[in-house]
A = this chain, B = another copy of it.
Amino acid sequence: MSTRIAKPAARMRKLPRQARSIATVEAIIEAGAHVLSELGWAGFSTNKVAEAAGVSIGSLYQYFPDKLALVEAIRRRHFDHVLSVIREASAEEKPLKQFARELVRGMIGAHSIHPTLHQVLLDEVPGDRGSRAAHASFQARYLEHYAAAVAQYRKRRKDTETMARVLSSAVEGVIHNAARRNMLDAPELQKQLGELIQAYISGGKAA
C-alpha cells in the first residue's frame, strides 16, 4: 500500500544523494513508465522521457548509463508492485469469493496508473542479457502465488501449475483488453472477471 522508495541500485551511473536528485530520478522513472505505456517501446526514446519528466537529457544520463538501465528500473518497480498485490490477495486463508474479489481489485489498481505498461514490458521491451534472470524470477514468483491459490481451493493436485498459468494469463488478458478500451473501472467488468476466476477454480462440475 505504501509507495516503495525502490531499492537503491539497479545499475546506475551514480547514486542520488540529495533530495533534489532523488526527486529527479523518481521523476525520470515515472515519466519513463508513462511514455512506455503510452507510446510503447517503439516510441520510448530517452529524449522524450527526459522532456516528459521535465528534466534535461543530461540529467537522465547522469544516473542511468543507458536506455536499457532505465527500462530495467521501470520494470523492477512495476513488477515489485504487481507482486505485492498478488501476495496480499493470496495471503492468509480466506473464502474463494473474497480471494477473487481482492485479486481483481488489486490487479485493476495496479494497472490503472499505466494501463498498458505491463504488457509492453512483457511483449515489446527486448529481453537483454542482465534482466533475463530477474524477469524469470519474477514470473516464477508470480506463478507461485497463483498456484498456491489454486491448490488451496482445489482437491485435485494434478494440473495445478497449468491451471495457474491459464488463470494468470486469462486475468491478464481481460485486464489488458479492458485497459485498451479505458474500461478498467467498469464495475460489471470487475464482477464478471471475479466470476470467471471463481468459476474456473471451483472446477467443472456443472457441465
Contacts and interface: CB of A to CB of B under 8 A. Distances in A.
Contact of A204 (B171, B178, B198): B198
Interface stretch (A13-21, A85-93, A105-113, A186-194): A186-194
Interface residues of A, number: 43
Number of copies of this chain in the oligomer?
2
Contacts of A171: 170, 173
A196 B197 CA distance: 9
B207 A203 contact: no
Question: For A40, A170, A178, which residue has the most chain B Cβ atoms within 10 angstroms?
Answer: A170
Interface of A: 40-42, 96-97, 116, 119, 122-124, 159, 162-163, 165-174, 176-178, 180, 186, 188-189, 192-193, 195-196, 198-200, 202-207
